[in-house]
Each structure stands twice: as structure tokens, then as C-alpha cells.
Amino acid sequence: MIDSGSIEKSVLNAAESSVRTSPGMTAADEIGIIRATLNVLVTKGHLGEADAANVIGSTLTQLDLFREASLASGLGLTSQVLNDAENAVRLLPDNKSVDEAAIAKAVADRLVEQGLLTPFQAAQLLMGRKKFQLGHYRILSQIGKGGMGLVFLAEHELMGRKVAIKVLPRKKVTEQSEEAFRHEIRMLGRLDHENLVRAIDAGFDGNVFYMVTEFIDGLDLNRLVKQYGRLTDDVAASIISQAARALGHAHENKIVHRDVKPGNIFVGFDGCVKLLDLGLARSEADGEASSFSGVVGTIDYIAPEQLDKNSAGSVGSAADVYSLGCTLYYTVTGNPPYPGGDRGHKARAHLDPKPISKREIQKNAKHSSTGFCDVIYGMLLKEPSDRYQSMDEVIDSLGNWLPQNPQQAVMNWMSSSPEANPHDEWVLSGDDLLEDGNENIALEQPGRGLGQDQSQSSMQAEVLQVAVRSIIVGVGVSVLVAG
């Protein structure tokens, strides 16, 4: 700066001196001194912000920036730890002539090998990101991502307890998305069931709303089928019956989920199934206003009555039966009932009074028994009153395929299938930040309605124009329909 004539030496020396003598500043923190000195010069009008940014860009290497982020991250990394790692890396013969960016990456990798950082934390620090704390929780890795937010694996800083944290970044907050987030927190707070993910905490930190839930080590049903393949009847029944129990509990508490789908059913490696995402749930509790009274759901799994503008705001528990039936169909076929075409085509298929035929179900579920396919058919009837009327009925109908210990059956099946890795790290974009400035049997009973295939329904199959918009954390989709 002096050589360029942009600032006098005496002014620079005075700014640096004031920084070095300020409380909390150590002589070893050269990067901090540089930044603080530039801030003083900008504040006093001796230097423009653009010029200060140029100085940073030309002065600090990626290794410098990695060190700065590491020391400011609150992850317990000290200058000595970073120096030791850097010295060990530079002593390696292959690193004698590499650039500082490669050294920074090698230092980060070494810290991961030493167990001082997770791969996620290392990647974030290399991008200069420093925020790994939400309330009392330290972020360890990202385990999910949706249109409106992120899900992280975190650890309570004092208790050491692993949790999942759903985050709604402030920069992505709309009135509707914030209401959905708050609504989910309220719904989970009212419910307590072994097959519902349990809420632990919620809050607001800096620029993000967050909700803390129990962490389940496993895979969502969508990923499980894609990774392990179609399920056998007994395993599918074991998983869906557990989800049905959770939905039954919600229905008993006058809550309709409205977005049941494979991505919202989580299967733990211990065989326990957890239902997720109550952000679109509709409450029928006395005196409680319904949230999102319009048409909401995910197009591949949405019930016909949810697509009808006349009934969308008042759908009952039979809508969840239909969506769970679509999910059951997916588990044994690998596809939703109407996989082809665009969203409008799929909406019209759901609204067609004629349900998918038993023959079609049997053809696509090649390894499923006729009776099992009958149960699926009974869940997918288009008229709500023709379907199973409660989750207890669904569970009873699946009873012929339920092993004595469903949870053990699921665990055994997963352990004998190809190895899964539920902790794959996500590659984050520039928008995925927590920083303040950056804002997926022998005997068989027939199911319900199993005489002739139903071809008529009282529901009118209107041709609808469907517009889809992303709504909340997860891959939930809200469908706005105009008649």
C-alpha cells in the first residue's frame, strides 16, 4: 500500500500500532492484525472497502484463510495444533514444492485423520466458513438438504448427545415457509410416539430458525429402496406398519399429515421406523386454525381429494391412507403408482375415478403375493370412503405378512443387503451457509373393496392446471391447483 502511494507510512504504522496494543490481540495472530488494521483504515476513511478487499486477496493465501477460519470456528483448534499439522505436512517429500492451497488441503486432511475435524467441518473451513454452532449444538456434518433448508448432524456441546438439526436459513425465509417451520415444531411438540421423530429443542440463532430432533442412524425409505432394491412383502409390511402406527397416533390427536411419502419415512439400522416432516400437517383440533388450507402434498404420492380445490382444505385421515398406499406400492415396485409424464399428467392420473388395477399392481410387484397386492389396491381406491378407514385397518390387513418381531426383520434384512453409507457428505453451494452474512405367508386375507375393480367414483375428474412450488425443509412439494 505504501509503494502504491495509496496510504502514507505514518498512517499505516499508527493503525497497526493501535491494533497490536488493543485488548485481546496477540502478536501471533498476524492475519487478525492485518484484518483489524485494514478495518481501522477503512473506518477512518484512509482506505476504501474495495481496496481493503484487494489487499486481503493479494496478501493472504488459502492456507492463511484456512488458519483464520479454524481459529475463529470454536472447534478447539489452537495455533499450536495448526502449526504441528502444517509442519508435519511440509516435511513430506511430495509437499516440498506444492502451492499453499494444496498445503491447506493436506493440513485439513491431517486434522480429519487425527479426529480433530469431521470431513464436513474441514471442507467448510477450506471455504472460509467459521460458524459451526447453533445454540448449544456443534455442527458435525450435513445429512439432508431440501428446497428451503438443511438438516445437520450435531452434538450437544456439554452432553455429547448426537442430534439432528433442521435449519431454515434467514435468507430463504418467507411468511409461508416460516409458518410451516413453526407449525411443524408445534405439531411435534404435541405428539409423542416411538415411530414419530421426537422434537428436543427449537430456537433462533443469528440468522436461522432451527429445530432439534433425535438423530436416527439409517436411511429414508426412498434412498433405502434405491440402494437396496425392492422390498420383500414381510419387510415392506414391517416398515409400513410402523409408519401406520405413527400416523394412527397423529390421527388420534386430530392431525392429518398430508405429505406421507418414502422421503418422510426414516428406517433406522436398528429396524425402527420414524415418520418425519409435519410441516404440512393439518390440525383438526377444536379452536386451532388449520395451517396451509390450500392444496399441499407431493405429486407422486398425493391423494385425489388433496387435488380437489373443494376438499383440499378439509381432507381427513383417508388421505394419509392413500399416500401410505402409494408409498407401499413404491417399496415393492421401485416406482410410485403413476411414474410417467409431467406433474399435470400425474395429477390427472390421481384424479381419474378408476383406480390402478389389481392386475397392474401384480404385474409391477413381481415378487409380491396376490393378497399383498390386494392390500395395496385397497389403500389406493380413489373414493376416500372406499379405502381402509383407519391406520388400524391397514395394520390388520398387513398382519398376514408381519413377522413376530417386525423391527428385527427389518434390521436383519438391512444387514444382509449391500452396505449402505448414511453419512455421505453433501457438497454445499455458496448459498448453504450458516454465516450471518450469507443468509430424497401361508394364509392371506383379502383387503378392503376387493370384489370387482372399482371403475366409478363420486369424485369428478376435472382437468386441472397444476403449478408446483417448493415449500419446506425436505423435498415436500406444495401443489397449487386452479379449476
Distance, CA of 36 to CA of 52 (rounded, Å): 11
Residue 236 clears pLDDT 80, i.e. is over it: yes
Q: Which residue has the higher pLDDT, 481 or 458?
A: 458
**Phi, psi for residue 126 in degrees, rounded to 5:** -65, -20
Least confident of 217-226, 288-297, 299-308, 355-364: 288-297
Within 13 Å of residue 86, how many CA atoms lie on the same side as its CB? 18
Residue 1 clears pLDDT 50, i.e. is over it: yes
pLDDT band at 68 (very low <50, low <70, confident <90, very high): confident
Q: How many domains does the chain have?
A: 3
**The pLDDT value given to residue 144:** 77
* Mean pLDDT across 7-27: 69
Q: Are residues 90 and 183 in the same domain?
A: no
Residue 2 clears pLDDT 60, i.e. is over it: no
Least confident of 74-83, 145-154, 329-338: 145-154
**The pLDDT value given to residue 445:** 36
Cell of 172: 430463504
Q: ∠ CA(26), CA(30), CA(32), 5° rounding? A: 75
Within 13 Å of residue 79, how many CA atoms lie on the same side as its CB? 8
Mean of pLDDT over the chain: 77
Whichever domain contains 334, its CATH number is 1.10.510.10
Q: Are residues 208 and 223 in the same domain?
A: no
Residue 389 clears pLDDT 90, i.e. is over it: yes
**The pLDDT value given to residue 416:** 79
Least confident of 4-8, 165-169, 197-201: 4-8
Q: Are residues 379 and 236 in the same domain?
A: yes
What residues contact residue 155 under an 8 Å CB cut-off, 6+ apart? 137, 138, 140, 161, 162, 163
Tell me the pLDDT tens digit for each residue of 250-290.
Answer: 999 888 888 899 989 999 999 999 998 765 555 554 334 44
Q: Which residue has the higher pLDDT, 381 or 183?
A: 381
Contact present, 361 and 372 (Cβ < 8 Å): no
Q: Are residues 108 and 178 in the same domain?
A: no
* Mean pLDDT across 380-403: 96
Q: Which residue has the higher pLDDT, 324 or 464?
A: 324
Residue 438 clears pLDDT 50, i.e. is over it: no
Q: Are residues 13 and 138 in the same domain?
A: no
**The pLDDT value given to residue 92:** 85
**The pLDDT value given to residue 173:** 72
Question: DSSP label at 196?
Answer: B
Least confident of 66-70, 113-117, 198-202: 198-202
Tell me whether residue 342 is in a domain. yes
From residue 303, alpha-carbon distances to 17, 70, 125 in Å are 69, 49, 45
* Mean pLDDT across 381-405: 95
Question: DSSP label at 155?
Answer: E
Q: Which residue has the higher pLDDT, 237 or 434?
A: 237
Tell me whether residue 435 is in a domain. no
**Residue that finishes a domain, picked among 167, 184, 214:** 214
Cell of 3: 509503494
Question: According to the per-residue pLDDT averaged within each range, which of 35-39, 77-81, 232-236, 293-297 is highest?
Answer: 232-236
Q: Are residues 281 and 382 in the same domain?
A: yes
Residue 172 clears pLDDT 70, i.e. is over it: no
Q: Are residues 202 and 240 in the same domain?
A: no
Query: Quick one: CA torsion of 261, 263, 266, 269, rounded to 10 degrees?
Result: 130
Nearest in space to 104 (alpha carbons), one of 89, 92, 118, 119? 89
Residue 442 clears pLDDT 70, i.e. is over it: no
Cell of 233: 412383502
Q: Are residues 157 and 236 in the same domain?
A: no
**The pLDDT value given to residue 146:** 59
Residue 328 clears pLDDT 90, i.e. is over it: yes
pLDDT band at 31 (very low <50, low <70, confident <90, very high): low
Residue 434 clears pLDDT 60, i.e. is over it: no
* Mean pLDDT across 79-86: 92
Tell me whether residue 430 is in a domain. no
* Mean pLDDT across 324-336: 96
Least confident of 1-5, 22-26, 180-184, 424-428: 424-428
How far from each other are the two terminal CA atoms of the chain, in whole angstroms?
Answer: 66
Distance, CA of 208 to CA of 201 (rounded, Å): 14
Nearest in space to 356 (alpha carbons), one of 215, 214, 454? 454
Residue 71 clears pLDDT 60, i.e. is over it: yes
Whichever domain contains 191, its CATH number is 3.30.200.20
Question: According to the per-residue pLDDT averaged within each range, which of 122-136, 145-159, 301-315 is highest?
Answer: 122-136
Q: Are residues 323 and 204 in the same domain?
A: no
Q: Are residues 173 and 261 in the same domain?
A: no
State which residues form the domain around 182.
133-214
Residue 177 clears pLDDT 60, i.e. is over it: yes
Q: What is the CA radius of gyration of the chain?
A: 28
Active site residues: 259
Residue 86 clears pLDDT 80, i.e. is over it: yes
Q: Are residues 396 and 472 in the same domain?
A: yes
**Residue that finishes a domain, picked among 109, 126, 143:** 126
DSSP string, 384-426: GGGS-SSHHHHHHHTGGG--SSHHHHHHHHHHTSPP--TTPPP
**The pLDDT value given to residue 259:** 87
**The pLDDT value given to residue 406:** 94
Q: Which residue has the higher pLDDT, 310 or 75?
A: 75
Element (H, E) at 166: strand 162-169
**Residue that finishes a domain, picked among 214, 249, 275:** 214
